[in-house]
Structure 1
Amino acid sequence: MAEADPSIFAQMKAVDVREIADATALSDVLDENPRPFVVRGLVKDWPLVKAGRKSPRAARNYLLEHARPVPFTVTIGQPGRDGRLFYDDDFGMNFREARGKLGDIFRGFDDNEGRADVPAIYLTSVDMKLFFDGLVENNRSPVSDRDPLHSIWIGTSTRVAAHNDFPRNLACCAVGRRRFTVFPPEQFENLYIGPLENTPAGRAVSMVDFHAPDLDAYPRFAEALEHGQVAELEPGDAIYIPSMWWHHVEGLSPFNVLVNYWWRDTPAFLGQPQDALNHAILAIRDLPREERDFWRKLYDHYVFDNPPKVTAHIPEKARGVLAPLTAKTAGQIRAFLLRTLNR
């Protein structure tokens, strides 16, 4: 197996660091910057960050003070996997899920603290407003003006394969250290993306092991590395990841907490592009080439180009879903699709 020289990773370009004075300044930078950037110390004054600086156990105790008495879902990996949450050899998952009170789960962290070759333990994308009282209010979001989804990620040393998300993302390192390796959206071919429907966490992931990249099996990954950027975050630091940028995420400390905020700039009533891709695979991909070529032209006409001539000949009151979408017309499309897909 030909492996990438470790110095390649060391020589990757660092994600730009921006100086941000306050939340208003951050909002302005988010609107003007189409690329990832890091803000050092953005949330350094959070009580959660301060608790984590004392000790991992102090951070866990702080979280327990705010946790609601409801079951949490936890991912438990296999020992000896270097924290990598991924597929097993049969393309199942190399981890299992369990549910329990947060205090019981945290006792698992306590029991494994300081041990070698421990299983990965990871609480992923926990909705802070649903599972905690006061945690959002006491650790204020730097992007509260964007009405984001507030999520918290709590785990041991873990590695999450490169993936992307449709919403924009501000990820804040609260406890421990994190490494983000990011790639522009167009690098998907060089990242060797795996199955679309059978995924570790809902998004398709790169098949490349970033700790031991096999350049015989994935030769184009060398090209991806030329476009990749790396950021290592300390407690209180944050990284902005634009929509559809690929990111490989590592928790580098024995105990790590990340808080992230997802938001989209388009109305919430619009659909998910991934759903359209899945439907196109179902309905178009396996058609004869000449038919696919025709549908490509229709997609360009109605979706990607959408010039004025699409509707110029139709009275404005009769344009229906061809007009700019509203919550009402988006709902009509969704209802129509549900009817047709259930036939």
Structure 2
Amino acid sequence: MSSPTPSLSARNARRPVPWVDRGAAAHWPAIRIWRFDILAEIVPELPVTLVVGERERGQTRFRTTSLPAYLRGLGTDEDSLHGAYLKEFDLLRAVPALRDDLCPHELFPRRAVTSSSAWIGPTGARTGLHHDLLDNVAVQLVGRKRFRLLPPGSVQRVGGRSPRYDKWARLSRLTADEVTEQAAHRAAGGPDVLTVDLDPGDVLHVPAGWWHEVVNLSPGVLLSGFHGVQPAVGLLWMRESARHAAHRLGVVGRRGCTCHPEAVL
């Protein structure tokens, strides 16, 4: 079941519920001028690693290509990409000049510690149900994207947590619909899935702990801005760095992860 968009509307970023701000970034230059053919001409000729399929629940598979070739494919021959998705890419570090087309400082709370990454992919590219460890400001820059969200604790209550390892998120072995179906069988009713479709210039605020799965409705670029305040961010970074070191030693995440390939294409 989808919840209407007004239930997500708010103007207080401190509220621990998702909220959408329609057109909040519509005045950014990127909304007006970014197209895949233009980006392909601007970016450097550097290799990128693409995720094939839904690694949050399935196998972790990668393929490599060059950034300009990938962007050209998104603009002209989407079928040739076979759903390959450029996830968590530091676009602004790769192409610092693109910072001039963005105004992210407008969206973050004062004194926030921030980290941004881009999600670039074709129609149908998806990220499985998960929750992040930091609050996220998701800005749709190109194309359209759908978020489906569930409240904190929804997956845990039906035993749906996945043993798969991810450094900065916790994963579900179930889809959002499967979570609500199982919850409905166990009680009088399960949580509603909140559905939000983003157009270019729309901004969605997703608090830490909120479960969400995401799918591209068209070829798109989304900028995620994860943020928090000190000392909480520093403590989280130390904890997750220790956990990641344990993962690299084979102590954590033995039953699969999103960072080490089970197949390279």
Describe the shift of the 1:130–1:36 C-alpha distance in structure 2 as closer, same or farther (beyond 3 A): same
Provide TM-score, normalisation by structure 1: 0.59
Residue 171 of structure 1 and its aligned partner are, at CA, apart by 0.2
1:36 aligns with 2:1: no
- Range 268-277 or range 155-164, more displaced: 268-277
- Cα pair distance change 1:104/1:65, threshold 3 Å: closer
Tell me if the contact between 1:74 and 1:97 (Cα under 8 Å) persists in the aligned partners. Answer: yes
Partner of 2:162: 194
1:174 corresponds to which residue?
141
| Pairing partner for 1:205 from 168, 171, 175 | 171
Normalised by the length of structure 2, the TM-score is 0.75
1:95-174 to structure 2, matched below 5 A, reads 96-110=61-75, 112-113=77-78, 115=79, 119-141=82-104, 142-143=106-107, 145=110, 146-156=112-122, 157-174=124-141
* Residues 118, 209 of structure 1: alpha-carbon distance in 2 compared, 3 angstrom cutoff: farther
How far off is 1:257 after superposition?
1.0
Contact 2:52 2:85 in 1 (8 A): yes
Question: C-alpha displacement at 1:40, in angstroms?
Answer: 0.3
CA contact (8 A) 2:146 2:196 kept: yes
Residue 44 of structure 2: aligned partner:
68
Question: In structure 1, what is the Cα distance between the partners aligned to 2:19 and 2:168?
Answer: 25
Structure 1, unaligned stretches of length 5 or more? 1-8, 20-28, 53-58, 78-83, 283-343
Q: Which has the higher strand share?
A: 2
Residue identity in the other structure for 2:84: I
Once the two structures are TM-superposed, the CA of residue 244 in structure 1 deviates from its matched residue by 1.5
Equivalent residue in structure 1 for 2:234, among 241, 265, 269 = 269
Displacement of 1:258 in angstroms is 0.6
Q: Deviations over 1:169-209 (max 9, x none)?
A: 10011111111112222223246121143x5x863322223
Let me know the Cα RMSD of the aligned residues. 3.2
- Verify the 8 A CA contact 1:66 1:134 in the aligned structure 2: no
CA deviations on 1:53-102 (whole Å, 9 max, x unpaired) are: xxxxxx1133234423332222234xxxxxx55544xxx33xx3233321
**How far 1:106 moved relative to its partner?**
2.4
Q: Specify the alignment match of 2:182 in structure 1.
A: 219
- Report the CA distance shift for 1:276/1:121 in structure 2 as closer, same or farther (over 3 A): closer
**Does the CA contact (< 8 Å) of 2:150 and 2:191 recur in 1?**
no
Q: Measure, in 2, the Cα distance between the counterparts of 1:123 and 1:221.
A: 35
Q: Structure 1 vs Structure 2: percent identity of aligned residues?
A: 23
- Structure number with the higher helix fraction is 1
**1:176, 1:256 within 8 Å by CA — same for their partners in 2?**
yes
- The answer to whether the 8 A contact 1:173-1:258 is kept is yes
Alpha-carbon separation, structure 1, partners of 2:179 and 2:191: 16
* Residue aligned with 1:164, SS: strand
